[in-house]
Structure 1
Amino acid sequence: MTIDDTILLAYVDGELPPDERAHVESAIGKSDDVASRLSILRASQLPYAEAFSQQALPPVPETLRRNVDELIRQHLAGASAQGAVNAADAIDTATSGESSIPSGGNVHRLKPRASLPWLAVAFVAGVFSCGIAFRLLPQLTGGGAITTSSNDPGVSPWIAAAAGYQQLYTRDTVASLQPDMRATAATAADIRQYDNLALQIPDLRSQGLSFKRVQRLRFRGKPLVQIVYLPEHGGPVALCVLKEAKADAAPARDRVGGMDVVAWRRGQLGYALIGEHGGVDLEALGKRLYGGEVSTTIGRTDAHDDARSG
């Protein structure tokens, strides 16, 4: 059985039968290449459907409905005038025998495209839906305005984007995630090798937070790492990391887009703890992380023993 990306994706989605799933798991344990490809596919498996299902989307504005109705009315009015011309063209075509001439074995006449009214409805509705999506989903890849807000106008744009992204997560969307430590180790290795980030993944179980996943994202072309934890109660907490060639800075608390944020810098890396307001004491946790008082799960050569013992 060849383990290609299609099979790995079915494994990630939980769609493989038990025998094939066991074969894939055996291959993961034996092949670093398969484990690496699996980690990439897991990183792309974001819980967008569950996240957006929690959002209360506003109704379609009445002005938008009226504009679409007007587009349809104008098209129908123009279509009646064009009907006579089309009928004449059809008669001319039939008379000349053009319609009976075969187009050839590899040439086919194009079917008429969707009528303009439905295209108009689809286009306008699409624009409206995209407007909602971009309002909810931050531009982690850059190229657009960050829609999140902060009480501090000096907050780093990447932190604002990460906070907006974190708002998409709820406890339900994270609770179902089961961390794969082998895939996590492969992702951590990719972060060190390809993203050039000397990252260590903290073990926060002593603080009441369970590790759920690590993801490789990008912000304006720069690697951005998101490590997601779930506390015993309340919403998920993310530790986000991005390379920042600036002096070290002690943890500082902020509010970004309704989320609590504690950010600091150490060793040319910027860190941001992000969680829902009133949940985990992020300030105390940030100070412990800044002071190196928390052990690591993965990220050092000796960390695999820590992961196995957990």
Structure 2
Amino acid sequence: MITKSTIPSDEDLTAFIDGELTAEEAARIEAIVKQDASVAERLEFLARASLPFEQAFAPLLQEAPHEKLEAMLAAIPAHKGARSASAPAATRRRFLGALAASLVAGITIDRTVIGIGRGFSAKDESSEWRAVVADYISLYTAETLAGPVPGRQDQAAQLASLDEKLGLSLSAEAVSLPGVDFKRALLLQYDGKPLAQIAYLDPETGPMALCIVKSDAGPKAPDLENRKGMNVVYWSSGTHAFMLIGHAAAHKMTAIADGVRERSAV
């Protein structure tokens, strides 16, 4: 009988995907997957998800207590049948451990760090990528985006790296948001496709992000939805899909998105 206490966690499922479990542990999860459709669905989604959490949270982890973190990871016992010492060290399971350690530094990380994608419709690609991004951005706090605002030259350099992969031309002026600080532009990946994330910090409501992926779904006028307690304005051109997500009120998010569309013609 499968009970709540025997259902594998996301960390266990991720370790299973990465081949880090012993033969006994792997066999246990395989048996549960065969019996429980929800666990099977969860495993399939985690196997597909490819957002680089380590890259996006690198600034956050730099603030973590490294000595305590290393001690915690060193204390994890080695399992027979797990990967050899020659295997890559930066696995997702160890990264989850790093996020947990960052709590010692007083940085709040939502326990859904890898918990993305419940109940998605595989047929609605547009909805799915927005749901993934919403789960991802929900991990951000003001502390995640703390630090000085990059100068326009640095902003332009970061945006240029996105242009190359996405086939866009985004200037710092085009993606500037009124009253909201530009913090960084990152190139991530979703389902094998480049995903641009331009992160901002609203002094009143906290983290905000403009995210872009290539899309052949065709043009779509702006629409509004709510995900993870945040407002999302999304639209698409003939070649790309866009979403602006943040904690600001719906009317403010809509006005900001309209401004981005006008200045960047996207």
Taking structure 1 as the reference length, the TM-score comes to 0.46
Q: Sort the Cα spacing of 1:148 and 1:157 in 2 relative to 1 into closer, same or farther, 3 A.
A: same
C-alpha displacement of 1:286: 1.9
Cα distance in 2 for partners of 1:134, 1:229 equals 19
Aligned amino acid, residue 112 of structure 2: L
C-alpha displacement of 1:269: 1.2
1:47 to 31, 52, 59: 59
* Deviations 1:46-73 (CA, angstroms, capped at 9, x unpaired): 33448999xxxxxxxxxxxxxxxxxxxx
Q: Sort the Cα spacing of 1:135 and 1:219 in 2 relative to 1 into closer, same or farther, 3 A.
A: farther
> Does the CA-based 8 Å contact 1:137-1:168 persist in structure 2?
yes
C-alpha displacement of 1:166: 0.8
C-alpha displacement of 1:268: 1.4
Is 1:162 the counterpart of 2:133? The answer is yes
Which residue is 1:84 aligned to?
none
Gaps of 5+ in 1: 1-42, 54-113, 140-144, 297-310
> Does the CA-based 8 Å contact 1:51-1:173 persist in structure 2?
no
Aligned amino acid, residue 204 of structure 1: S
Is 1:179 the counterpart of 2:179? The answer is no
Cα distance in 2 for partners of 1:52, 1:241 equals 30
Q: Sort the Cα spacing of 1:222 and 1:159 in 2 relative to 1 into closer, same or farther, 3 A.
A: same
C-alpha displacement of 1:197: 3.3
C-alpha displacement of 1:238: 0.3
Q: Which has the higher helix share?
A: 1
Aligned amino acid, residue 165 of structure 1: Y
**Considering only CA atoms, is the larger Rg found in Structure 1 or Structure 2?**
1
Is 1:137 the counterpart of 2:113? The answer is yes
C-alpha displacement of 1:177: 4.1
C-alpha displacement of 1:164: 1.1
Is 1:208 the counterpart of 2:184? The answer is no
C-alpha displacement of 1:260: 1.3
Cα distance in 2 for partners of 1:212, 1:264 equals 23
Aligned amino acid, residue 176 of structure 2: L
Cα distance in 1 for partners of 2:63, 2:245 equals 17
Which residue is 1:38 aligned to?
none
Aligned amino acid, residue 246 of structure 1: A
C-alpha displacement of 1:249: 1.0
Cα distance in 2 for partners of 1:203, 1:192 equals 13
> Does the CA-based 8 Å contact 2:158-2:184 persist in structure 1?
no
Q: Sort the Cα spacing of 1:170 and 1:196 in 2 relative to 1 into closer, same or farther, 3 A.
A: same
> Does the CA-based 8 Å contact 1:197-1:243 persist in structure 2?
no
* Deviations 1:237-271 (CA, angstroms, capped at 9, x unpaired): 10001111122111111112222111001241111
Is 1:239 the counterpart of 2:210? The answer is yes
C-alpha displacement of 1:184: 2.9
Cα distance in 2 for partners of 1:181, 1:249 equals 31
Cα distance in 1 for partners of 2:264, 2:228 equals 30
Secondary structure class of the residue paired with 2:134: helix
> Does the CA-based 8 Å contact 1:258-1:276 persist in structure 2?
yes
Aligned amino acid, residue 113 of structure 2: L
> Does the CA-based 8 Å contact 2:142-2:201 persist in structure 1?
yes
Cα distance in 1 for partners of 2:126, 2:166 equals 24
Secondary structure class of the residue paired with 1:285: helix
Taking structure 2 as the reference length, the TM-score comes to 0.53
User: Over aligned residues, Cα RMSD in angstroms?
Assistant: 4.1
Identity of aligned residues (%): 30
> Does the CA-based 8 Å contact 2:205-2:248 persist in structure 1?
no
Aligned amino acid, residue 137 of structure 1: V
C-alpha displacement of 1:203: 4.4
Which residue is 1:219 aligned to?
190
* Deviations 1:174-217 (CA, angstroms, capped at 9, x unpaired): 13243144343233222222443344443435x21121111111
- After the TM superposition, which residues 223-302 of structure 1 pair with which residues of structure 2 at under 5 Å, given as runs? 223-276=194-247, 278=249, 281-290=252-261, 292=262, 294=263
Cα distance in 1 for partners of 2:139, 2:258 equals 26
Cα distance in 2 for partners of 1:248, 1:161 equals 21
> Does the CA-based 8 Å contact 1:228-1:237 persist in structure 2?
yes
Secondary structure class of the residue paired with 1:272: strand
